[in-house]
Amino acid sequence: MQCDGVCRNNLVQVQVHNVMQCLEKANDQFIKPLDDFRKKKIGDVKDGKKKFEKQTTKFCQSQERYLNLSTKKQDTILQEADASLEMEQRHFCQASLKYVFLLQEVQECKKYEFVETLLGFMYSWLTFYHQGHEVATDYKPYMVDLQKRIQNTRENFETTRDQTKLLMNKMLELRKSKDPGSLDKMYTRQGYLYLMEKKALGSSWTKYYCMYEKGTRKFSMIAYNQISGKITGTEEIILKSCIRRMSDSIEKRFCFDLTAENRPGIVFTLQALSEEDRRLWLDAMDGREPTYGQPGKVSKGEETSLDDVGFSFVQQCIAELESRGLEEQGLYRLVGVSSKVSKLLTLGLERRKGDKLILNDRCEWETKTITSALKTYFRNLPEPLMTFRFHEAFIAAAKQDTRTQRIADVHTLIHRLPPPHFRILDTLIAHLHHVAAKSEKNKMTISNLGVCFGPTLLRPEEESVAAIIDIKFCNVVVEILIDSYEKIFQCKPPASEMPKEISSHFHTTVPQNHRPAVSPIKHTVVTYNDGPKPIYMDPNPMRSSWDNIQLTSSGIGIHQSTATVNSLHSSSHSSSSNQSSGEPLPLSYSLGSHSSIPERDNSSRLLGSSQNNSRITVGLNNSGALGDSKGNSYSQPYLNNAVPERNLSNSSSSSESVASWPGHPQNSLGIPGVGLTPPQPPPYQPPPEHPLINGRDNYGIISRGPTKPPQTSMAGATGGSKWEYARKCARTLYSCVAEHEGELSFEPNEIITNVRPSVEPGWLEGTLRGKTGLIPENYVEALP
């Protein structure tokens, strides 16, 4: 009995010791990361908030002291006040931007820091309860999908954070930033003004946040003071007139008077923040001088520097490039020497020297010098070729449900461009069409050309985070122009009204010239400590922007996968011409490489069942990159990556996304069942049907438009289907595990009978072991 008691005591002590070790490990693995996140990230935000509130108070107090200066003060005193206010304003801007940056950073970090900890806890739980293998198997797909989402969310955050930081630094470096009162396109002008309120014993000045809409002439005022932070009711008037207040008629500076149609007999005296601010308010409200009338400004047409000299220079460059054959690798990706490019631009754009320019001297003018000069010419135009006015409309067109709709909308918009823009754009796109036709030699596919010319031809009016995210849609528009050149430029669009979602993006005013500075999105590798194994993504997939579609929390976005101009693998390109037309390409390896294994996109299974999906087939070459296979190669079964047509929306930097995964193996993935190795293919996942999300709704409205799937065939891109007219037998090539009741599971070298076509593209119907169901077409071969 005593021996049994000692054994039980020792056993209890061992169990307690194990439990304590587990608790300590759990604390280090789960609690400590969250506590560090709270102390570091959230603590930094609190410090940033304190600095922002401190600078806000100092700036507002300095501003009020500045505005209370009388006109009778000496000029030196006023100049000192101006300098002091400018310094306080700069400090205020620095503190506010830093605070906004920290807020955005902590909001984005919460998405993966907390979920990543929970994911690690799930892995530890499943390891501890090894007996629950059945449960672990059930949860494995969900956890893999969640890990992909975390990885993509982290990559989106890191990329957007870098771009946002560059934009913030650029804004701080500008000596004179863009007027913030005209940034919001909903209002003609908005900003802070002081309203004089007359009382029984004198008058007082109250700070208001004012908004003016020129179309309706509605002027709104919200009483708000940044120091107190209290917001009262809104007062609205219909503007009747706006007159500058004479300096000798009032003690305050920068004043002007407003009269309202709905408040007859009442004059609103307002004080602007500076002389420049008052001038902008007067311009926005068609203000008049107190002694003479001045007509309101008339909006000018679209100004441009596209003259005959520039057009002649473009024609000369294109003619010389085409005379050289367009077969040099990386034609528009190689960058010329800046001094030679500047010299060529100077000579070509001078009226006196333009006719004497001779480009056929290959020693003096290299091909990369001419291509760089051509890109620089379009990049330095005051307004891009597709104009600021139609910029948002082109972006909306790239987000349409189907490829047919996208082409139709872009077709209509192109023919609405001003004649000089249309003329030179026609010449450029025709040239790029010729370049893409020789992509097998020059490696400049349609997607690569879209990356090179998208940000140049569709330059946004303002540099913002939204513009950074939308840059991928610019590439899509250029790809559409190149791929459908004959239809868009040589045929006029039908006489029909522009769709509402497109026409609503048109601007009525002429935008100013701004250019974005955007670097391509690059993938990184996520590693975990004491948690799930990392998933390695292809660092250099060269796929068309139409294929890189990702699901986001605020809609559907497009994920551009490192299609950089200076790519290390310049010889690896996707066959965009075949992809865009819906024709499949053979999956082939060069002789001597590993045997081809059909592969499927694990991230394609997102939110729906499988029906009416368009399919795109991509090829792999012996270098492991996407591209055509020529020469000594043999064809293997097709790789059908299901990429359904989806409605695209503006995805913000905080959106969580699942991007399309690369279609070729490099390393085995860290999680079993996801990695791809030559001897064993991954479990097959049938192509799902994804819900469409309305691009005009930030939160997503599920809808679907009809899609017409392109034809697929085992016989090749040009041959007919082997299963079209007769029911045959087939031999399985690879193992497949069914994920739905209507699918068949099988192992290699099994015979499936009664094989016939299915209504699902890329699928067949057959009978195995008395059960009839769906089988993937590229997993079987027909028997004679």
pLDDT in tens, 748-777: 889 999 898 887 778 898 999 888 889 998
SS3 call for 641? strand
Nearest Cα neighbor of 552 from 655, 466, 649 is 655
pLDDT at residue number 470: 82
Tokens of 265: 């007999």
Residue 757 pairs in a beta bridge with: 764
Between the ranges 165-174, 234-243, 490-499, 671-680, where is the mean pLDDT highest?
A: 234-243
pLDDT at residue number 722: 53
In three state form, how does the secondary structure of 124-173 look?
A: HHHHHCCCCHHHHHHHHHHHHHHHHHHHHHHHHHHHHHHHHHHHHHHHHH
Q: What is the rounded CA–CA span in Å between residue 618 and residue 606?
A: 21
Q: Is the pLDDT of residue 252 over 50?
A: yes
Residue 204 pairs in a beta bridge with: 197
Q: Could you tell me where in the chain the CATH 2.30.29.30 domains are found?
A: 181-284
Q: Is the pLDDT of residue 609 over 60?
A: no
- Give Dmax over CA atoms of the chain in angstroms: 114
Amino acid at 45: V
pLDDT tens digit sequence for 45-61: 888 888 899 889 988 98
Tell me the HSE value of 698 on the side-chain side, using a 13 A CA sphere: 5
Distances (CA, A) of 754 to 138, 172, 412, 757, 767: 33, 70, 49, 10, 6
Backbone angles phi, psi at 177, to 5 degrees: -75, 170
pLDDT at residue number 539: 38
Between the ranges 352-361, 392-401, 457-466, where is the mean pLDDT highest?
A: 392-401
Count other Cβ atoms within 10 Å, centred on residue 280.
Answer: 18
What's the chain's average pLDDT?
A: 71
Answer for the pair 420, 537: CB distance below 8 angstroms, yes or no.
Answer: no
Q: What is the rounded CA–CA span in Å between residue 625 and residue 662?
A: 9
pLDDT at residue number 258: 93
Please state the rounded mean pLDDT for residues 317-337: 88
Q: Is the pLDDT of residue 560 over 60?
A: no
pLDDT top residue among 690 and 447: 447
Q: What is the rounded CA–CA span in Å between residue 517 and residue 452?
A: 13
Amino acid at 731: R
pLDDT at residue number 213: 92
pLDDT at residue number 271: 93
Give the fold, CATH level 3, of 181-284: PH-domain like (2.30.29)
Q: What is the rounded CA–CA span in Å between residue 563 and residue 544?
A: 9
Tokens of 339: 């001094």
Q: How wide is the angle at C-alpha 372 spanned by C-alphas 368 and 373, nearest 5°?
A: 120
Its pTM stands at 0.35
Q: What is the rounded CA–CA span in Å between residue 318 and residue 330?
A: 16
Burial (CB count <10 Å: 0-12, 13-18, 19+), residue 697 = middle
pLDDT at residue number 723: 56
SS3 call for 207? strand
Answer for the pair 450, 479: CB distance below 8 angstroms, yes or no.
Answer: yes
Q: Is the pLDDT of residue 367 over 80?
A: yes
H/E segment holding residue 94 = helix 75-128
Amino acid at 313: F
Q: Is the pLDDT of residue 719 over 70?
A: no
pLDDT at residue number 291: 58
Q: What is the rounded CA–CA span in Å between residue 368 and residue 341?
A: 9
256 falls in which pLDDT band (50, 70, 90)? very high
Between the ranges 19-28, 210-219, 307-316, 546-555, where is the mean pLDDT highest?
A: 210-219
Answer for the pair 402, 707: CB distance below 8 angstroms, yes or no.
Answer: yes
Q: Is the pLDDT of residue 363 over 70?
A: yes
Would you mind telling me the total number of residues written for the chain in this entry? 784
Q: What is the rounded CA–CA span in Å between residue 5 and residue 3?
A: 5
Contacts of 455 (CB under 8 A, 6+ apart): 471, 474, 475, 516, 518
43-47, 679-683, 742-746: segment of lowest average pLDDT: 679-683
Read off the DSSP letter of residue 199: E
Q: Is the pLDDT of residue 537 over 60?
A: no
176 falls in which pLDDT band (50, 70, 90)? low
305 falls in which pLDDT band (50, 70, 90)? low
pLDDT at residue number 698: 35
Answer for the pair 757, 768: CB distance below 8 angstroms, yes or no.
Answer: no
pLDDT at residue number 219: 94
Give the fold, CATH level 3, of 16-178: Substrate Binding Domain Of Dnak; Chain:A; Domain 2 (1.20.1270)
pLDDT top residue among 507 and 341: 341
726 falls in which pLDDT band (50, 70, 90)? low
Q: How many percent of the chain have pLDDT more than 90? A: 16
Distances (CA, A) of 519 to 157, 374, 472, 654, 662: 15, 20, 11, 18, 21
Q: What is the rounded CA–CA span in Å between residue 324 and residue 467?
A: 36
Tokens of 86: 């400018």
Q: Is the pLDDT of residue 120 over 90?
A: no
SS3 call for 192? strand
311 falls in which pLDDT band (50, 70, 90)? confident
pLDDT top residue among 442 and 178: 442
116-130, 147-161, 408-422, 578-592: segment of lowest average pLDDT: 578-592
Q: Is the pLDDT of residue 369 over 70?
A: yes
Answer for the pair 670, 713: CB distance below 8 angstroms, yes or no.
Answer: no
pLDDT tens digit sequence for 623-680: 333 343 333 333 333 333 333 333 333 333 333 333 333 333 333 333 333 333 333 4
Q: Could you tell me where in the chain the CATH 1.20.1270.60 domains are found?
A: 16-178
